[in-house]
Each structure stands twice: as structure tokens, then as C-alpha cells.
Amino acid sequence: MPHDPVPAGFDPAEMVAVLRTLVEIESPSSDPAALAACAAEVATLGERLLGAAPEWVEVDGHPHLRWRWGPGAGGPAGERARVVLLCHLDTVWPLGTLEGWPFVVSDGVATGPGAFDMKAGLVQGLFALASLGADGRDGVALLVTSDEEVGSRTSRGLIEAEAAGAAAVLVLEPSAGAGGALKTVRKGVATYQVDVEGRAAHAGLEPERGVNALVELAHQALAVTGIGDAAQGTTVTPTVAAAGTTDNTVPAAARLRVDTRAATPEEQARVDRELRALRPVLAGARLAVRRETSRPPLPASASAELFVLAQRVADQLGMGPLEQAMVGGGSDGNLTAGLGIPTLDGLGAVGGGAHARGEHVVVAAMPRRAALVAALIGALRQPAAQPS
């Protein structure tokens, strides 16, 4: 694969130049002004490469971009594009990260904050769509959202509406592993908060009159961990805890955050049930369990047919066999798979180190992945090839 010729129409130098432009406009999920600046640049790039300006959809200060071609573009309400591409422009990196870690290309590898997750995937998606020409984009929609890294609270409605009725959702998140494996199974992710209510008392004078919320929390942290099931790949992890006010007071309140991951909807439902069934151990303590965020799993059944199609397309392009991987992290592909829409994820950059300093992109793979996405869209637009 490393010695494959560069697919016609994809100039790696041009792709890297666009990647540099996007990485050098930092875009942490929590900074509306930074997100708007990056979104404006993506809109300009899209207009140049695709010949059309996006719709700019702002939700609670988050700018999201939407391109639609053919059905769905000004068509009757409810008519939807047949293929939806999902990208996000936000990153996990705070403003200023670029100062200590500038965008650099060396030895065929590009690095910089957000390069791998997922600005390179976004660049590949834009070039893939550009290569198809206006006719080839008929029936395609591209969403570029700006809150994926913080749970897609403001974009979820847009994503779900666009995906409804689509034949396929292609997610340009980074691939897995050095070989560029597609992500065909993603665990569902839900986070919870457990609030513990005890009763304050002086720790020296009359501690027996108190109900120690911190001790109760300790019991609950252990109970929560026990809900995990390694054999099923289900993890339940206490992540953040807080309790107490002063050194000499029995704590009246405590809170625990819990991260949960499960590969099937059934396991996710079981974890939810068991967390909600937690009961206090100490007499007089009270518990409240609240789910904060939730993305359903992307099960193998959602990606299987698309993976077979991608494999066939890759063969035709002479790209050799594609690999697939199950990953613990969620993406917007979980949302569309949760609606029963065929979804294939990890079609973006080849490289590594997502969310870690030094995340990087294999430059030579950028044209190949763009060509793969373009050919996959082409195959999906032939009715016989669509997954049912």
C-alpha cells in the first residue's frame, strides 16, 4: 500500500496545504469565536473546491455547516440525501496549543493539534467530493459540525435529521491502527452523575450524628465498578469524585462521575438499569443517579454491508484489503447507527495518536483515502449497490 501510485486528481501537496490552513486555525469545542473562524475557513474552502457555499446553521453558539446536492437541496420537506458524509471541525486542543506544537510535515508525516482527529479527514472529504463533480454529488450531503468532541449536544438534531432515510452515512473520523483500519464497531458511551446526600456533623464532637457522604460514595464507587463485564467488553469507570467542605466536618454531600461503554444496546440498557438501581449502604444516606450524555453503540450489523462494499471498491482501486476494528470511543456515527442507518466510520485520516500530543497523519495516505471515499460514494449512488 505505501507504494501505490497517487490516485489521479488528488495532489498530496495541495491537500497538505489545505490541512495546514485548517490546523493553524485552532478550534477547541468550547470556544465559539474560534469555532466560527474555523467554520468560516471551511466554508470558503468548500466554496472553492465544491463550487457552493454551505448553509450555516448555528445552534447555541455552535456553528455547523451543511452542504446538500440534489435531493434534499431545496426539495420537498422530508426528502433526504441518499449518502451523508459526517465531519467535525472542533478539536480537543485549547487555544495556544499551536505555539508549543506547530503544524509540521516531516518524513511524510504531518502533525499539529487536531490534524489527525479530524481535520485531515475533513480535507479528504472535501477533495473526494470535489473529484466527483456536480453530477457525482447528486444525492449527497456533507455535515461539518463543531461540538463532536463534547458529545454533539447542539449538532445531534441536525445529524439525526440529515441521516434519516439515507442509504448510508460515511464518517470521516480517523482510522484505527497503523494500517488504517475502518471502525466497524464502536461502543456506546453514556456518562452518569451519582449524587450522594448525607448529613453534616462535627468530626470531633459528635461524628456519630452525621451520615458520611464520602464513605457512602466510596461504597458506590466499588459497586459501580462491579457493573462492568469484561467478557462483553462493558466498562463502568468512576472518573471524577468530590466530597466534603472542611477538615473537621463529616461530609454532607458527595458526587461521583461515571463513564460507561458497551458494545450492544442490550448491555447499555443493562448498565443503565443497574446504575439506577443503586441503593445506599449507610443508614440515612440518599442517592440520586442521573444520565448526563448518551450515544448508542455502533454495532457490527450497522456497518457490515458498507464494509463489504468498501472492500470491493478498495479492491477495484488496487488498494489491497481493508482492515476493520472495534473501538471504545464514540463518534457521531453512533448516533446514526442508533437510528438504524447503515454507517461506516473511520474513513478519514491514516496515522495515530488521537487526543494525544503528537497526533499525526500519513500524508501519502491522504489521496488514497480521498479516492476511496469518492469511489464509495460513486458505488452507493448506483441503486444496485446500496445496502438494504
- Nearest residue (CB) to Zn ion, 118 versus 126: 118
Closest separation between CB of residue 115 and Zn ion, Å? 12
Closest separation between CB of residue 278 and Zn ion, Å? 32
Q: Which of residues 133-162 bind Zn ion (CB under 5 A)?
A: none
Alpha carbon 90 to chain centroid, angstroms: 10
Closest separation between CB of residue 212 and Zn ion, Å? 41
Interface stretch with Zn ion, choices 110-118, 214-222, 257-265, 339-347 (CB under 5 A):
110-118
**CA angle (128 as vertex; 369, 109 as ends), nearest 5:** 40
Mark residues 173-212: x for contact with Zn ion by CB under 5 A, - for none: x---------------------------------------
- Nearest residue (CB) to Zn ion, 149 versus 216: 149
Q: Which of residues 327-346 bind Zn ion (CB under 5 A)?
A: none
- Nearest residue (CB) to Zn ion, 313 versus 327: 327
Interface stretch with Zn ion, choices 70-78, 172-180, 207-215, 231-239 (CB under 5 A):
172-180
The backbone torsions φ and ψ at residue 346, rounded to the nearest 5 degrees and listed phi first, read 80, 20
- Nearest residue (CB) to Zn ion, 198 versus 351: 351
Q: Across the strands, what pairs with 256?
A: 194, 241
Q: Quote the CA–CA distance of 341 and 33 in Å, as a whole number.
A: 33
Interface stretch with Zn ion, choices 109-117, 152-160, 211-219, 304-312 (CB under 5 A):
109-117
Q: Quote the CA–CA distance of 18 and 119 in Å, as a whole number.
A: 9
Total of chain residues touching Zn ion, rule CB under 5 A: 3
Q: Which of residues 243-262 bind Zn ion (CB under 5 A)?
A: none
Interface stretch with Zn ion, choices 40-48, 59-67, 168-176, 274-282 (CB under 5 A):
168-176
Interface stretch with Zn ion, choices 46-54, 100-108, 170-178, 306-314 (CB under 5 A):
170-178
Amino acid identity, position 369: R
Q: Across the strands, what pairs with 90?
A: none
Interface stretch with Zn ion, choices 55-63, 73-81, 118-126, 244-252 (CB under 5 A):
118-126
Q: Quote the CA–CA distance of 311 and 118 in Å, as a whole number.
A: 22
Q: Quote the CA–CA distance of 212 and 207 in Å, as a whole number.
A: 9
Which member of 117, 162, 332, 345 binds Zn ion (CB under 5 A)? 117
- Nearest residue (CB) to Zn ion, 87 versus 236: 87
- Nearest residue (CB) to Zn ion, 118 versus 287: 118
Closest separation between CB of residue 354 and Zn ion, Å? 7
Angle, helices 365-380 vs 300-316, to 10°: value is 110
- Nearest residue (CB) to Zn ion, 162 versus 173: 173
**Exposed / middle / buried, residue 230 (Cβ in 10 Å: 0-12, 13-18, 19+):** exposed
- Nearest residue (CB) to Zn ion, 152 versus 220: 152
Alpha carbon 146 to chain centroid, angstroms: 11
Tell me if 118 contacts Zn ion by CB under 5 A.
yes
- Nearest residue (CB) to Zn ion, 19 versus 271: 19
- Nearest residue (CB) to Zn ion, 118 versus 377: 118
Interface stretch with Zn ion, choices 24-32, 70-78, 112-120, 379-387 (CB under 5 A):
112-120
Closest separation between CB of residue 356 and Zn ion, Å? 13
Give the residues lining the site for Zn ion (CB under 5 A).
Answer: 117-118, 173
